[in-house]
Structure 1
Amino acid sequence: MNRRTFLKKAVGSLLALLGLSSGTYYYARDIEPILLHINKNTIASKKIAKSFNNFKIVQFSDTHVGFHYSLQQLKELVQKINGLDPDLIVFTGDLVDEPQNFHWDSKIINILKQLSAYHGKFWIYGNHDHGGYGTEVVNDAMNKAGFQLLQNNHTTIEIANEEIVIAGIDDVMLGKPDLDATLVNANPNLFTILLAHEPDFADIAKKYPIDVQLSGHSHGGQIRFPLIGHLYSPAYAEKYVQGKYSLNNDKFLLFVNSGIGTTRAPFRFLCKPEIHEYSLKSLS
């Protein structure tokens, strides 16, 4: 940690300590973490085939089950997502907070299994999924729940003989991401969505035939203050922290999901948990 980063975190921690007192502390700990925001977006492109007009994708990320986020809350989240009637569901990493300490049984599998989307459910690894020796156990749970892992590979979604590409890379921090392998034999003329846990990977992804990157990891900073913004974000979420970013003269879009759960500190302040709903619009 360099001196500038250290000072920023030290000052940020002091502000957090002063700001999160009494009623504000209660709000940040017990109220805002359950105020789910549905972030609705329209993605328009000439590359989107007409068959995919109004195709709905729902993204959720960073549930961190086990750290102040319960299985009951996950169950309620599943019901909210299903209520949006998605055509496709994507999960962009960090299922549980500490895989090595989590009690793995059929409960979490049965809850995730209830998620329903006609064109499938896909997921990628986050750093917490690989951490704590969780790689295999998380994969096993997600597989049993009906999710397809995208780990340096891609698949196509087809409607009426027209297609889009859904690709996913391994986690940047603890995995072995390989974007060249991910896109091998992918048709560059097809509308392509990349799932990448860490948002700052966009600076690499934007150089490839990718139209949209969906990420999480940052938690939106988790604690934000007016004028100051977020106090802290993890490595590989330092440049792109929250919301929508247009890169390459609007030819590449990045959406950074603020996540569902919390980690390190059980607080959210001016940074509600969220799921993203994307409606595709064909301009062809």
Structure 2
Amino acid sequence: MGWRKIIISILLLALFLLIYNYIQISKVYINKVKISTKKLNKDIKITQISDYHSNKYINKNKLIKEIIEFNPDIIFLTGDIIDFKTIDIHPTLDFMKEIVKTTPNVYFVSGNHEIRNIFYKEFLKGLKSLGVAVLDNERDIINIEDENLNLAGISFYASKEDYSKVMNNIDTNNYTILLSHSPNRPISYLSGKEDLILSGHTHGGQVRLPLIGAIVAPGQGSFPKYDKGLFQIGETTLYIDSGLGNSVYPIRFLNRVQISNITIESDK
């Protein structure tokens, strides 16, 4: 009788963990972030989507509705939108097509998974055909309601020289946003010209523990410092989104898949 109770308890626990994990990898959390600055006269709204990895579990229609409701001025795609194993890139491009309909201002930087994918060039071509601007080691200036913003991006394998070229002679009177899939490179290259760095890559560790946070993150090893959320590095704010998908295994704990709706608030 005792063994029977133990077996039933184990089965119930396994069932609970399966249901819990499915919720973590499929029910999208909308993380709301607010950052203040004296460089802007008006608030700017940004949606960041990172590390989608062609996630087949999420409700894309519901997610699009959430983005439309937020009505962002700009959408940033900070890499690993497809997985390195993704064979059919068209469902993801169809999803990106719906994303672009919410705002014409959509920008992308490459992550390690796109670069490793055999259809990488085709994927980039598809994004560009949709009107997505690719900022791999490039920069742009965008005007939002009479506010000029510097938008700079570095690709996953960008060198310090690549970074320096992108940031050279940038007008620091404008609010400056740097996109980098991984937070590791800009942290080591940081010049302080950036007001905000938007990254992904870490997935928030995928598995997190209470009070401790991420157990491991790529490029940082065990118990990483820069795992998820907001960090202040001098005058620069770093924000790491924990991602909309998963790599290797579809497993998450205390760390639901998410996108981030970020409001840059005028502090004037």
CA-based RMSD of the aligned residues comes to 2.3
Q: Which residue of 1 aligns with 2:75?
A: 89
Structure 2 spans left out of the alignment, 5+ residues: 1-9
Q: Which residue of 1 aligns with 2:256?
A: 272
SS of 1:165's equivalent? strand
Q: Which residue of 2 aligns with 1:163?
A: 148
Is contact 1:198–1:236 with CA below 8 Å preserved after alignment? no
User: 1:75 Cα shift?
Assistant: 4.5
1:56 aligns with 2:54: no
Q: Which residue of 2 aligns with 1:120?
A: 105
User: 1:129 Cα shift?
Assistant: 0.7
Is contact 1:28–1:267 with CA below 8 Å preserved after alignment? no
Q: Within 5 A, what are the aligned runs for 1:166-177?
A: 166-172=151-157
User: 1:236 Cα shift?
Assistant: 5.1
Q: Which residue of 2 aligns with 1:6?
A: none
Is contact 1:75–1:111 with CA below 8 Å preserved after alignment? no
Q: Within 5 A, what are the aligned runs for 1:242-261?
A: 242-248=228-234, 251-261=235-245
SS of 1:114's equivalent? helix
Is contact 2:82–2:92 with CA below 8 Å preserved after alignment? no
Aligned with residue 27 of structure 2, among 25, 29, 35: 35
Q: Which amino acid aligns with 1:31?
A: I
Q: Which amino acid aligns with 1:86?
A: P
Q: Within 5 A, what are the aligned runs for 1:176-187?
A: 178-187=162-171
Taking a change above 3 Å as real, the CA distance of residues 267 and 30 of structure 1, as seen in their structure-2 partners, is: same
Aligned with residue 140 of structure 1, among 100, 105, 125: 125
Aligned with residue 193 of structure 2, among 189, 193, 209: 209
Higher-Rg structure is 2
SS of 1:260's equivalent? coil
Taking a change above 3 Å as real, the CA distance of residues 132 and 161 of structure 1, as seen in their structure-2 partners, is: closer
Q: Which has the higher strand share?
A: 2
User: 1:118 Cα shift?
Assistant: 4.2
SS of 1:266's equivalent? coil
SS of 1:133's equivalent? coil
1:221 aligns with 2:221: no
TM-score, normalised by the number of residues in structure 2: 0.85
- Range with bigger deviation, 34-43 or 107-116: 107-116
TM-score, normalised by the number of residues in structure 1: 0.81
Cα-to-partner distance string for 1:144-165 (whole Å, 9 max, x where unaligned): 2321100111111114543111
Taking a change above 3 Å as real, the CA distance of residues 234 and 24 of structure 1, as seen in their structure-2 partners, is: farther
1:192 aligns with 2:184: no
Distance 1:229 1:160 in 2: 38
Q: Which residue of 2 aligns with 1:12?
A: none
Distance 2:261 2:183 in 1: 18
Q: Which amino acid aligns with 1:70?
A: K
User: 1:140 Cα shift?
Assistant: 1.4
Distance 2:89 2:210 in 1: 40
- Aligned-residue identity in percent: 28
Cα-to-partner distance string for 1:235-266 (whole Å, 9 max, x where unaligned): 15843101111121xx1111110101111111
Q: Which amino acid aligns with 1:40?
A: K
User: 1:205 Cα shift?
Assistant: 4.7
Cα-to-partner distance string for 1:125-180 (whole Å, 9 max, x where unaligned): 000010133431221121123211001111111145431111110113xx556111
Distance 1:182 1:279 in 2: 25
- Range with bigger deviation, 141-150 or 156-165: 156-165
Is contact 1:221–1:231 with CA below 8 Å preserved after alignment? yes
- Range with bigger deviation, 199-208 or 128-137: 199-208
Cα-to-partner distance string for 1:166-195 (whole Å, 9 max, x where unaligned): 1110113xx556111212342122110111
User: 1:110 Cα shift?
Assistant: 2.9
Distance 1:98 1:159 in 2: 34
Distance 1:42 1:120 in 2: 20
Structure 1 spans left out of the alignment, 5+ residues: 1-17
User: 1:42 Cα shift?
Assistant: 1.7
Is contact 1:200–1:239 with CA below 8 Å preserved after alignment? no
